[in-house]
């Protein structure tokens, strides 16, 4: 129960990611595969499920295999519970993933000390939430002190580093996955 691998796969997102990684248009993939642009669009938007033969044609057009596309596919319906560790006596600094698998966002829980010397710069947006304790974040040349319940939002590309300032601090970091192409609205 809760195992998303039991659900049917949505291959559309994997096809779209691969096509965009190769910087191809739907028209080019249609020409290479012999399939229509409308059908490929429906596949990418999970409105149509390609047959095995069609998936192999798409994979060939994307210079990969059907097996690789299926391996990168998203579950059609996903519910997955990540349980808290039962051993709470461990006081060592640790990082615990809050989401398993290959998804559009990543979330991790950091407990204890954190290497303040390590600088981060993520391609996409990130949210930091202090569940317990306190942290100091340095971003864009400024220091921000955050306490329990505070959040800090960083847009993609912002260089930052942080450190816990109170023992047993717990920080939740949620970020848009690196494989997602996030585009800023430049019209603002």
User: What's the whole-model pTM score?
Assistant: 0.56
pLDDT of residue 2: 41
What percent of the chain shows pLDDT beyond 70? 77
Nearest-angstrom CA–CA distance, 115 and 123: 21
Instruction: Give residue 102's pLDDT band: very low, low, confident or very high (50, 70, 90).
Output: low
pLDDT digit string (tens) for 43-89? 998 888 899 899 999 999 999 988 888 877 766 556 677 777 644 44
pLDDT digit string (tens) for 16-30? 989 999 999 999 999
pLDDT of residue 4: 40
Residue 106 has pLDDT above 70, yes or no: yes
Nearest-angstrom CA–CA distance, 106 and 58: 28
pLDDT digit string (tens) for 134-186? 999 999 989 999 999 999 999 988 999 999 999 889 999 988 766 555 544 44
**Considering the chain, what is the average pLDDT of its residues?**
81
């Amino acid at each position: 129960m809760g195992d998303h691998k039991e659900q049917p796969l949505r291959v559309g997102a994997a096809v779209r990611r691969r096509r965009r990684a190769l910087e191809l248009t739907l028209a080019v993939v249609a020409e290479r595969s012999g399939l229509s642009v409308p059908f490929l669009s429906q596949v990418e938007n999970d409105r149509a499920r390609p047959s095995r033969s069609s998936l192999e044609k798409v994979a060939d057009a994307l210079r990969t295999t059907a097996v690789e596309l299926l391996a990168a596919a998203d579950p059609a319906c996903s519910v997955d519970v990540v349980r808290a560790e039962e051993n709470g006596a461990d006081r060592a600094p640790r990082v615990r993933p809050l989401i398993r698998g290959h998804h559009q966002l990543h979330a991790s829980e950091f407990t204890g000390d954190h290497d303040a010397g390590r600088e981060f710069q993520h391609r996409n947006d990130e949210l930091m939430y202090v569940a317990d304790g306190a942290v100091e974040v340095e971003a864009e040349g400024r220091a921000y002190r955050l306490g329990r319940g505070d959040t800090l939002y960083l847009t993609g590309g912002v260089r930052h580093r942080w450190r816990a300032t109170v023992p047993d601090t717990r920080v939740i970091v949620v970020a848009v996955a690196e494989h997602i192409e996030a585009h800023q609205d430049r019209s603002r």
